[in-house]
Amino acid sequence: YQRMVLASRPRGAVTPANFRLETVTVPALQDGELLVRNHYLSLDPYMRGRMSAAKSYAASQALDQTMIGGTVGEVVASRHAGFAVGDAVVGVLGWAEMAVTDGAQLRKVDASKLPLSAYLGAVGMPGMAAWYGLNRIIAPKVGETVVVSAASGAVGSVVGQLARLQGCRVVGIAGGPAKCAYVVDELGFDACIDYKAGKLEADLAAATPDGIDGIFENVGGATLDAALARSNAFGRVALCGLIGGFGGADMAIHNARLLLINRLTVQGFIVTEHMDLWDQGLAQLAELVASGQVKYRETVAHGLAAAPDAFIGLLQGFNFGKQLVKLI
Ligand code: NDP
């Protein structure tokens, strides 16, 4: 089978030369192991951080090893009592067509209820990030205004729909008219601001007549400052991501004075540190997606060889919804 390894660490922007496709043979299974054929690979912004040697909340990706990544697939051989051939499983098996695992971080999922790919998006890690940041940090009350950036994306789309279901006014921020139209027309947000139109602050002010109570921040920098400028007293900021800074843009908070003036709470979080809540959150998300109350969109690249370009595209905002690689 094929796997993609990290060949070199990026100097500046990620390039295809940072990756190398390798063919490896399937090792014989030991007792307690199983073999998974991956159907989809998830591409996520956090992978950019892992590619560099800089210190972060998680160890960096080792060179010449399979790139880290979330996967969903099917058990094709098992010497593990807890998994049978045919089981659908979500895990972090990396950029590879197949993987042998001891099953420690594998979750069985119901392939009859939802498409497998949903378990990497709205009913997976990004959905849980939305669920956690909204419910545990912003904890919005009915009638409050919530703003979310990267609003058409895997996390942002779920944040806005959950907040709408909880009776909030929801305003998205996204890049370009097509993404904004989708966020309002398909996802049901009250408004969406196209930050590329060049008048983010004025447009956001017009869309938030009662100010902003909850900021779900995925981008940072000017986007966060624009939202802070509209913040209400005792507002909450769930700091989920700073993808706007990946290309080297300034992530400084210039409106820091408003943190004090408005007595704001800012809380960063890493969703994988809250595994105790995943069963509860994912069960809710699965219901909402299955019943059509939460919708999602995907951008799908085909074949492992397409993964590097798709990942580079994600880092440039070319994806529209959850970025996946379909392996079979
Ligand atoms: P998305 O599906 O939202 O894709 C990323 C999007 O970010 C792009 O499509 C783009 O949309 C937007 N974007 C804004 N500014 C930039 C920029 N300068 N360069 C590139 N893209 C930009 O990704 P996810 O939903 O997976 O992740 C969203 C955020 O959540 C990220 O910051 C990520 O790191 C974070 N995250 C954090 C987690 C945690 O536990 N804290 C867990 C999961 C994700 P547009 O065209 O609208 O600008």
| 73 and 9 within one domain | yes
Question: What are the tens digits of pLDDT across the range 312-328?
Answer: 999 999 999 999 999 99
Strands, DSSP E only, in the chain? Answer: 2-6, 19-23, 34-42, 71-78, 88-91, 98-101, 107-108, 145-149, 169-174, 191-194, 212-217, 231-239, 265-268, 298-302, 322-326
- Please check whether residues 160 and 83 belong to one and the same domain: no
Boundaries of domain holding 251: 125-272
pLDDT of 243 strictly over 90: yes
Say how many Å lie between the CA of residue 102 and the centre of ligand 1: 31
Question: Would the pLDDT of 150 be above 90?
Answer: yes
Chain segment 153-177, per-residue pLDDT in tens: 999 999 999 999 999 999 999 999 9
Nearest to 188 by CA among 172, 175, 176: 172
pLDDT digits (tens, 9 = 90+) for 185-242: 999 999 999 999 999 999 999 999 999 999 999 999 999 999 999 999 999 999 999 9
* Prediction ipTM score: 0.99
Give the distance, in angstroms, between the CA of residue 162 and the centroid of all CA atoms in the same chain.
Answer: 15
CB of 156 shorter than 6 A to ligand 1: yes
The token duo for 296 is: 């999602």
Residue 54 has pLDDT above 90, yes or no: no
In a domain, 62, yes or no: yes
Ligand 1 mutation pick, 125, 128, 218, max ligand atoms within 8 A of CB: 218
Q: Quick one: pLDDT at residue 316?
A: 97
User: Looking at ligand 1, which residue's alpha carbon is closest to its atom 7?
Assistant: 150
Number of residues assigned to the chain = 328
Q: Does a structural domain hold residue 281?
A: no
Asked whether residue 74 carries a pLDDT value surpassing 90, the answer given is: yes
The 3-state DSSP class for residue 320 equals coil
The reply to whether 112 falls in a domain is yes
Q: Quick check: CB of 1 below 6 Å from ligand 1?
A: no
> d(Cα 170, Cα 315) in Å, to the nearest integer?
25
Same domain for 144 and 238, yes or no, is: yes
Ligand 1 atom with minimal separation from the 320 CA: 9
Q: Are residues 82 and 40 in the same domain?
A: yes
Q: Measuring from atom 43 of ligand 1, which residue has the nearest CA?
A: 126
Domain of 167, CATH number, reads 3.40.50.720
Do residues 135 and 172 share a domain? yes
- Claim to verify: residue 140 and residue 116 sit in the same structural domain: no
The model's pLDDT over 87-130, given as tens digits with 9 standing for 90+, comes to: 999 999 999 999 999 999 999 999 999 999 999 999 999 999 99
For residue 290, being part of any structural domain is answered with no
The rounded radius of gyration (Å) of the Cα atoms in the chain is: 20
If you average pLDDT over every residue of the chain, what do you get? Answer: 97
